[in-house]
Amino acid sequence: MARRKSGLSPRHKKILTFLESYQLEKGYPPSIREICDYTEISSTSVVNYYLNQLAEMGYIERSSNVSRGINLIKNAKGIRLQAAKSAAERLLEPVINIPLVGNIVAGEPMPVPPSDFSYYDPDSGVEIARGLLPENDGTEQLYALRVFGDSMIDAMVNDGDIVVMKKVDQARNGEMVAVWLSDRDETTLKYFYLENGKVRLQPANPLMKPIIIEDPSIVEIQGKVVLVIRQLA
């Protein structure tokens, strides 16, 4: 097997530049899908391959069980970032409890009771290091849902994973959101797009077709995904 050449390729540099600029603007790392969009790489597995190489070269650290678990150590110029936190330091950050309030289907929309996602008792929750969450969001805006289905597998969201949501009632194109279809009393987790007066709910699974909603008024945004907690086997 041919050995990988030492040094950074143009794609490595582009990813590192995006990681640095995104972190400065948002205060937290981008998702794999956002890196795909910026670098114009269509496959999340290819981006994951480059990220693993960057980790091997010491430019980033990765947390395998969270979607935005990318810690930038050095930028594309090889400059070590003093603000970067090690995995050990992240473990020492304050832990907060996010209420786990119900289930969300990543597949065909599924009927749920009209009383929202409140399936679990008030003491149910997931503990998360504060440093993994967006810096500007108060914890009162956050809640968690357990995912059922495989329509978002290419976005690294698998059956049984937990998504941490920020409460919003509007979404930008390309954001992963929990959607309530009010005329059907159904909910689903998908990428949101508003196009030509219609809503496209796009799965991240090449075997599944998008859901086209002719009347945008029936689409209620319940929240957008800010973190995915993967359930490791």
- Which pLDDT score is estimated for 29? 83
Between CA 146 and CA 192 the distance in angstroms is: 19
Quick check: pTM over 0.85? no
The closest alpha carbon to 104, from 232, 231, 223, belongs to: 223
CATH superfamily for domain 93-229:
Umud Fragment, subunit A (2.10.109.10)
Between CA 61 and CA 71 the distance in angstroms is: 5
What positions carry a catalytic annotation?
151, 190
Residues of the chain with CATH 1.10.10.10: 10-90
- Which pLDDT score is estimated for 192? 94
- Write out the DSSP string of 171-202: --TT-EEEEEETTTTEEEEEEEEEETTEEEEE
Reading the block at residue 37, the tokens are 């969009």
Between CA 102 and CA 121 the distance in angstroms is: 10
How many CB atoms sit inside 10 A of residue 26's CB? 14
Fold of 10-90: Arc Repressor Mutant, subunit A (1.10.10)
Between CA 100 and CA 12 the distance in angstroms is: 37
- Which pLDDT score is estimated for 92? 57
**Whole-number Cα distances in Å, 192 to 9, 120, 162, 213, 225:** 33, 27, 19, 11, 11
Between CA 229 and CA 30 the distance in angstroms is: 15
Instruction: Please provide the size of the chain in residues.
Output: 233
- Which pLDDT score is estimated for 53? 93
- Which pLDDT score is estimated for 2? 39
The closest alpha carbon to 33, from 161, 212, 203, belongs to: 203
- Which pLDDT score is estimated for 90? 53
* Cα distance between the two ends of the chain: 30
Per-residue pLDDT of the chain (233 residues; tens, 9 = 90+): 333 445 789 999 999 999 988 877 777 788 888 899 899 988 888 998 999 999 999 899 887 666 677 888 888 877 776 554 555 555 556 778 888 888 888 877 766 544 345 444 445 678 877 777 766 556 678 889 999 899 998 888 889 899 989 999 999 998 899 999 988 888 899 999 999 999 999 998 989 999 999 999 999 999 999 888 877 65
Angle at which helices 32-39 and 10-26 pack, to 10 degrees? 120
